[in-house]
Structure 1
């Protein structure tokens, strides 16, 4: 069975989407399902192409035993719509932007992350401009809960 290919997308690919990538990869590996998923992340904009994740994302991931420091920012490409089975936007703005870019035959691949993963509508808030120290931790917790639900959903789909 080929792995399910998942792409997480946020605005710049330095905060939420690389954090989601690292969390899902870690959860899948720990559950023994690392072979069943292929995970990547991208941004709507190209401001941070080649840059590492935001230091605050790296720090919160590290505090939870996940290393995302080697990830590098990239901008979503047209080829991504063919290459991935699921394209999960972190907020409705990302989903709207993706909906403009996606070829119509592949529109069913684009979803709001929290809605697809948990069935609950809601954005994963962008912590980039937050000054509160716990903003990245709150986003981590939200992403972890969503990734746990997503992994369970993928497990149901495979069985």
Structure 2
């Protein structure tokens, strides 16, 4: 059985594409058959690649984000994915306005040892390495 996972953040240029790339690499290394994608709740960056500093941090750890392009989450995604993983509660609230939330989970629910309620947005914090480390966890 194939599992389909969608990662969602605000603009789909930092956190969610990084989660997509990291999860894809880890799944492939373990031989898992997963379909993984990412999207943003906003439409500011549609069609653009991930943010340069985020790409650089990921590349330094062996993850290639260059082929990814930002897209906005849609109502159809709720039927296309088994699990929708949001980076923060604002993302969850935005999704609740367009579809059912029964498949929506916070990313940090899968990393309780981090002691965080959300994945900080490095576009604002400038801590690209810290965000990547949390996502790898």
Which residue pairs with 2:107 in the alignment? 113
Alpha-carbon distance between aligned partners in 2 of 1:53 and 1:121, rounded to the nearest angstrom: 24
TM-score (norm 2): 0.93
Unaligned runs of 5+ in 2: none
Greater Rg by CA: 1
Q: Is the alpha carbon distance of 1:59 and 1:6 closer, same or farther for their aligned partners in structure 2, counting shifts above 3 Å?
A: same
- Deviation (angstroms), 1:125: 0.4
- Deviation (angstroms), 1:51: 0.1
Which residue pairs with 2:18 in the alignment? 19
Deviates more, 1:87-96 or 1:121-130: 121-130
Q: Is the alpha carbon distance of 1:136 and 1:87 closer, same or farther for their aligned partners in structure 2, counting shifts above 3 Å?
A: same
Partner of residue 42 from structure 1, selected from 21, 39, 44: 39
- Deviation (angstroms), 1:30: 1.2
Residue 85 (1) aligns with residue 82 (2): yes
- Deviation (angstroms), 1:121: 5.5
Q: After superposition, where does 1:2-151 map in structure 2 within 5 Å?
A: 3-33=2-32, 35=33, 37-103=34-100, 107-115=101-109, 117-119=110-112, 122-131=117-126, 135-145=127-137
**SS at the partner of 2:102?**
helix
- Deviation (angstroms), 1:130: 2.9
Report how many aligned residue pairs link the two structures. Answer: 135
TM-score (norm 1): 0.81
Greater helix content: 1
Which residue pairs with 1:152 in the alignment? none
Alpha-carbon distance between aligned partners in 2 of 1:101 and 1:121, rounded to the nearest angstrom: 26
